[in-house]
């Protein structure tokens, strides 16, 4: 039982490291401080711009630094705005800069 | 079951498992990490979970009140040394539940703390390697990820790191002294090689004392270069977890030369009530040379969990204080 649990425990971590190679997110890949991203999020609900406070309240972040993949930010925005209970039309824009490269823009619309 | 035997209120090395691995010390340090360093006071309900459908648990607020109680009881029990292995498993499982239930809660350091607690609970005589495997997975994962990242391979990460993110007198001096692409390229590749080497070394499990010292140097170097801003949580975690891979069985009985008539040495000897070290009085001989003194003091401070805890906590608290100042400075694009 103990050995079985340990094999599953370590096996899952190995699989996570391997699978992360084929994904943009790096959640369980043991990849801290692989990137330095600075980002800023803005959003519109039914074409009306949300205030900074509203963005922060909705997504839990507004602007800042992400020391892992920037796709973690995108992933969480997507997951929140595509949830079945979200009836509004959401348009999200993330301006980000990875490792000092030129700023890039990621946009997402849930409908 | 004798209740007295269940509680180990000393910072002594846990000898219940017979190997001298300081499991209880590590478990207590993880409790300190969770409460004081990370400031984790509650078990939060799911929000943007990794496992679809976990949101439904939000409709059961009593469950999270209950889990909060379980969390705090487990913290107290582990710290008191009461059935600490069982409660460590509970703490580890709760951390994993919180992370699986909320992507915003995910952090590598938080997850690693959960893994170490879980492994402390799972440990039995003969399973010493489980901590090495965990450390190996962390470093191999980190090394492999960097190895496939173009910005690491080209040196861009460190170029940005030194020129814009961690600008301080130390990093500027390093950056200016070694101008040019070669420096950041060498540093990038060295980091990748060090992480992969640590990963393989931990797995092989030979000369773990040297590995432990190198891990200390590696994380301390990061803190020095960034003046305590980068990865101090991992410094704490790796210090504690790498402490578990030391060959404690062989280290027991190491010779410490001391002067019996010295108050200072008497004070240190007081903390070795379980006679972990072999204390050799050198008063009647030639006394102690400065090298011997430094060597034996180094051994004592690093191998006595209480003193090691003060060392690691001291550095972490310094970095935490520094971070609270840095956070008030906004980044300008």
Using a CB-CB cut-off of 8 Å, the residues of chain B touching A34 are 142, 145-146, 149, 152
C-alpha–C-alpha distance, residues B207 and B161, integer Å: 33
Contact: A79, B48; criterion CB under 8 Å: yes
Select the residue of B134, B137, B145 nearest A34 (Cβ to Cβ): B145
Nearest CA in chain A to B233: A32
Over residues B91-98, the mean pLDDT reads: 96
Contact: B124, A9; criterion CB under 8 Å: no
Note the pLDDT of residue B72.
96
Note the pLDDT of residue B330.
42
Over residues B103-123, the mean pLDDT reads: 95
Collect the ranges in chain A with pLDDT lower than 50.
Answer: none
Q: Give the count of beta carbons closer than 10 Å to the beta carbon of residue A96.
A: 19
Q: B231 or B284: which carries more pLDDT confidence?
A: B231
C-alpha–C-alpha distance, residues B74 and B77, integer Å: 5
Distance from CA of A103 to the nearest CA of B (A): 9
The answer, yes or no, to whether ipTM is higher than 0.90 is yes
* CB contact A97 to B (< 8 Å): yes
Using a CB-CB cut-off of 8 Å, the residues of chain B touching A32 are 108-109, 142, 231, 234
pLDDT at B40 over 80: yes
Over residues B30-56, the mean pLDDT reads: 90
Contact: A36, B142; criterion CB under 8 Å: no
Q: Give the count of beta carbons closer than 10 Å to the beta carbon of residue B137.
A: 21
* CB contact A31 to B (< 8 Å): yes
pLDDT at B7 over 50: no
* CB contact B209 to A (< 8 Å): no
Note the pLDDT of residue B265.
86
Compute the mean pLDDT over every residue in chain B, rounded to the nearest whole number.
87
- Model confidence pLDDT, tens digit, residues B297-315: 989 999 999 999 999 999 9
Residues whose CB falls within 8 Å of the CB of residue B280, separated by 6 or more in sequence, listed in order = B255, B256, B257, B258
Name residue, tokens 């608290």.
Answer: B317
Contact between A77 and A46 under an 8 Å Cβ cutoff? The reply is no
* CB contact B137 to A (< 8 Å): yes
- Model confidence pLDDT, tens digit, residues B181-201: 788 899 899 999 999 999 999
Compute the mean pLDDT over every residue in chain A, rounded to the nearest whole number.
93
pLDDT at B324 over 90: no
C-alpha–C-alpha distance, residues A20 and A22, integer Å: 5
Contact between B203 and B136 under an 8 Å Cβ cutoff? The reply is yes
pTM score > 0.80 for this model? Answer: yes
Contact: B231, A32; criterion CB under 8 Å: yes
């Amino acid at each position: 039982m103990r050995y079985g649990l340990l094999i599953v425990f370590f096996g899952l971590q190995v699989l996570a490291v391997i699978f992360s190679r084929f994904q943009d997110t790096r959640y369980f890949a043991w990849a801290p401080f692989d990137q330095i991203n600075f980002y800023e999020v803005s959003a519109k609900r039914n074409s009306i711009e949300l205030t900074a406070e509203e963005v922060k309240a909705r997504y839990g972040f507004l602007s800042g630094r992400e020391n892992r993949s920037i796709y973690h930010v995108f992933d969480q925005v997507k997951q929140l705005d595509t949830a079945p209970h979200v009836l509004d039309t959401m348009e999200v824009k993330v301006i980000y800069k990875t490792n000092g490269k030129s700023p890039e823009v990621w946009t997402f619309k849930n409908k | 079951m004798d209740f007295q035997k269940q509680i180990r209120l000393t910072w002594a090395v846990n000898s219940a498992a017979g190997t001298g691995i300081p499991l209880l010390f590590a478990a207590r340090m993880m409790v300190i990490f969770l409460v004081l360093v990370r400031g984790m006071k509650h078990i939060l309900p799911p929000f943007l979970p990794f496992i679809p459908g976990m949101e439904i648990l939000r409709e059961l607020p009593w469950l999270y009140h209950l889990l909060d109680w379980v969390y705090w009881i487990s913290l107290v029990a582990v710290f008191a040394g009461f059935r600490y292995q069982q409660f460590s498993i509970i703490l580890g499982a709760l951390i994993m539940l919180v992370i699986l239930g909320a992507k915003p809660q995910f952090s590598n350091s938080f997850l690693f703390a959960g893994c170490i607690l879980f492994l402390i609970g799972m440990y039995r005589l003969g399973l010493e390697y489980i901590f090495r495997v965990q450390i190996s997975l962390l470093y191999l994962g980190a090394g492999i990820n960097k190895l496939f990242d173009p910005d690491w391979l080209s040196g861009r990460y460190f170029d940005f790191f030194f020129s814009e993110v961690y600008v301080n007198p130390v990093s500027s001096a390093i950056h200016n002294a070694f101008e040019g692409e070669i420096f950041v390229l060498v540093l990038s590749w060295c980091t990748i090689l060090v992480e992969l080497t640590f990963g393989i070394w931990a797995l092989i499990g030979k000369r773990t004392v040297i590995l432990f010292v190198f891990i200390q140097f590696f994380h301390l170097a990061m803190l020095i270069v960034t003046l305590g801003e980068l990865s101090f949580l991992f410094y704490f975690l790796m210090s504690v977890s790498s402490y578990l891979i030391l060959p404690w069985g062989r280290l027991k009985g190491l010779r410490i030369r001391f002067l019996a008539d010295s108050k200072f040495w008497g004070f240190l000897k007081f903390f070795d009530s379980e006679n972990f070290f072999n204390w050799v009085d050198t008063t009647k001989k030639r006394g102690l040379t400065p090298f011997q003194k430094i060597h034996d003091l180094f051994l004592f401070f690093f191998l006595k969990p209480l003193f090691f805890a003060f060392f690691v906590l001291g550095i972490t608290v310094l970095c935490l204080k520094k971070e609270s100042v840095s956070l008030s400075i906004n980044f300008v694009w």
